[in-house]
C-alpha cells in the first residue's frame, strides 16, 4: 500500500446554494444551507485514503468543536492524525462557500489555526514520515512551512507535489528541484505571468516552471482535462463529461488521487486519467470531503 503524507489545512465548510452569485453590496435569498468537513489539505488526505493510500495528515486545529469533530472524522477515514497540532483556545479554520445553479463556487476562508502550523512542529512531525512515498501540500498553511517541506523533500530524496492553491507566488528556492506542481489555469498565470488558454500557452507556462527547476508540471483544466509536461514529453488528457452539481473540491480530489497513483508508480497518463475520473465523480454531489469517491467507485466509473 502506498504511503502518502499530506501537509495542509483543515476547515469546516459552510455552504449556501443560490441561483446566482450576488453583486457587490447586494443581498439575495439563497437556498439550502449545508455544513461539511473541508480544507484543501483535509480534502486531499481523504481523497487519497479513499483511493487506496495509507495516509498521514499533518495539520493544525483548535480545541474547539470544529477541530475535535475534524480529527474524529479523519480517524474514521483511516487517516493517521497522530502528528496533528491542536492549539489550546484556538479557532479552527472555516470556509464560507456560495454555490450557484451551474455548480460554480465562490469561497472565502478564515484560516484560524491553519496559520499556526509552524516549521518547528512540522520538523518534529516529519520524523515519523520517513516511510512516505510521496508528500502532498497546498497553500492554505504558512508558506514558510511549505518552503521547509520542499527543502526537507530535496535533502531526503522524497517526491513532493505542490498544489499551488489558493493562488499565490512561490519563491524560486521552493520551485527548484520540486518533483511536481499542479496549478490550474489561474494559478499557472500567477506563477508564470502567462495567460493560459490553449495548448501553446500551456506549453509556454510549463516551460517557465521547468526552467525554474520544477521536474514535472500538470496544469489542470477543469472539465477539459489536464495538461502534462516535463523535459521528455507533453500531452493532454481528457475528463469524463458529467453534470456538475458542486465543483468545490474537484481539484482536491484530483490531487489526492493523483498522488496515490504516482506512489503506485503508474504512468503520468494513467495517473492523470484516473485522477480525472475521480474528480468528475466528485462534482456530481454537494460537499467537499464527502464527495471523494472510493477506489471501487473510481474503478467502476467509465
Residue 169 in grid coordinates: 507566488
- Go through 4-35 and write b for each residue having 16 or more CB atoms within 10 A of its CB, e for each that does not: bbbbbbbbbbebebbeeeeeeeeeeebeeebe
- Go through 164-196 and write b for each residue having 16 or more CB atoms within 10 A of its CB, e for each that does not: bbeeeebeeebbebbbbbbbbbebbbebbebeb
Concerning whether 131 is annotated as a catalytic residue, the answer is no
Cβ burial, residue 139 (10 Å; 0-12/13-18/19+): buried
Catalytic choice (82, 133, 252, 290): 252
| 285 Cβ contact partners less than 8 Å away, ≥ 6 residues apart | 245, 246, 291
Peptide bond into 135 cis (omega under 30): no
Strand partners, 147: none
Positions annotated as catalytic residues are 252
Amino acid at each position: 500500500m502506498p504511503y502518502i503524507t499530506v501537509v495542509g489545512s483543515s476547515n469546516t465548510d459552510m455552504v449556501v446554494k443560490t441561483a446566482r452569485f450576488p453583486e457587490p453590496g447586494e443581498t439575495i435569498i439563497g437556498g439550502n444551507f449545508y455544513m461539511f468537513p473541508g480544507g484543501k489539505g483535509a480534502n486531499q488526505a481523504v481523497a487519497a485514503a479513499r483511493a487506496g493510500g495509507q495516509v498521514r495528515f499533518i495539520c493544525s486545529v483548535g480545541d474547539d468543536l470544529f477541530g475535535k469533530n475534524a480529527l474524529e472524522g479523519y480517524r474514521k477515514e483511516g487517516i493517521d492524525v497522530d502528528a496533528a497540532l491542536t492549539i489550546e483556545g484556538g479557532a479552527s479554520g472555516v470556509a464560507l462557500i456560495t454555490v450557484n445553479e451551474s455548480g460554480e463556487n465562490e469561497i472565502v476562508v478564515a484560516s484560524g489555526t491553519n496559520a499556526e502550523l509552524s516549521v518547528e512542529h512540522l520538523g518534529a512531525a516529519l520524523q515519523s514520515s520517513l516511510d512516505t512515498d510521496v508528500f502532498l501540500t497546498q497553500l492554505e498553511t504558512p508558506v514558510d512551512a511549505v518552503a521547509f517541506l520542499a527543502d526537507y523533500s530535496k535533502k531526503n530524496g522524497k517526491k513532493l507535489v505542490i498544489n499551488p492553491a489558493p493562488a499565490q507566488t512561490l519563491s524560486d528556492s521552493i520551485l527548484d528541484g520540486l518533483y511536481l506542481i499542479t496549478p490550474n489555469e489561474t494559478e499557472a498565470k500567477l506563477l508564470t505571468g502567462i495567460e493560459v488558454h490553449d495548448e501553446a500557452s500551456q506549453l509556454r507556462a510549463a516551460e517557465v516552471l521547468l526552467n525554474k527547476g520544477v521536474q514535472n508540471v500538470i496544469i489542470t483544466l477543469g472539465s477539459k482535462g489536464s495538461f502534462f509536461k516535463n523535459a521528455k514529453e507533453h500531452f493532454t488528457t481528457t475528463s469524463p463529461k458529467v453534470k456538475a452539481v458542486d465543483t468545490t473540491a474537484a481539484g482536491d480530489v484530483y490531487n489526492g488521487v493523483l498522488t496515490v497513483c504516482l506512489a503506485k508508480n503508474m504512468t503520468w497518463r494513467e495517473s492523470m486519467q484516473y485522477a480525472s475520473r475521480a474528480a468528475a465523480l466528485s462534482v456530481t454531489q454537494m460537499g467537499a470531503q464527502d464527495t471523494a469517491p472510493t477506489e471501487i467507485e473510481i474503478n467502476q466509473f467509465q
